[in-house]
Amino acid sequence: MDEKSYSDLLKKVKSSVQKREEKKRFQIPKPEIITEGKLTIIKNFRDIVEVINRDESHIFKYLIKQFGLSGDVADGRLIFKGKPPEGSIDKAFQEYLRTYVQCYECGNYDTEMIREFRNEVIRCKACGAERPLYAHKEIKYSEEKIEEGKTYELEITDLNRDGDGLSIKGDITVIIPGAKKGQKVTVRIDRIRKNYALGIMVKKA
pLDDT score of 134: 58
Can you tell me the mean pLDDT for 102-130? 85
- Of 12, 44, 19, the C-alpha closest to 30 is 44
The answer to whether position 18 is within a domain reads no
Domain with residue 72: its CATH number is 3.30.30.170
Domain with residue 197: its CATH number is 2.40.50.140
Instruction: Look at residue 73 and tell me whether its pLDDT is greater than 90.
Output: yes
The answer to whether position 93 is within a domain reads yes
Last residue of a domain, one of 141, 173, 189: 141
pLDDT band for position 204 (cuts 50, 70, 90): confident
**One domain, residues 47 and 68:** yes
Could you please report the per-residue DSSP string of 157-200?
A: -EE-TTS-EEEEETTEEEEETT--TT-EEEEEEEEE-SSEEEEE
- Domain of 173 in residue numbering reads as 151-204
Total number of domains constituting the chain:
2
**One domain, residues 30 and 74:** yes
pLDDT score of 7: 60
**One domain, residues 68 and 97:** yes
Instruction: Look at residue 138 and tell me whether its pLDDT is greater than 50.
Output: no
- At residue 118, the 3 state secondary structure works out as coil
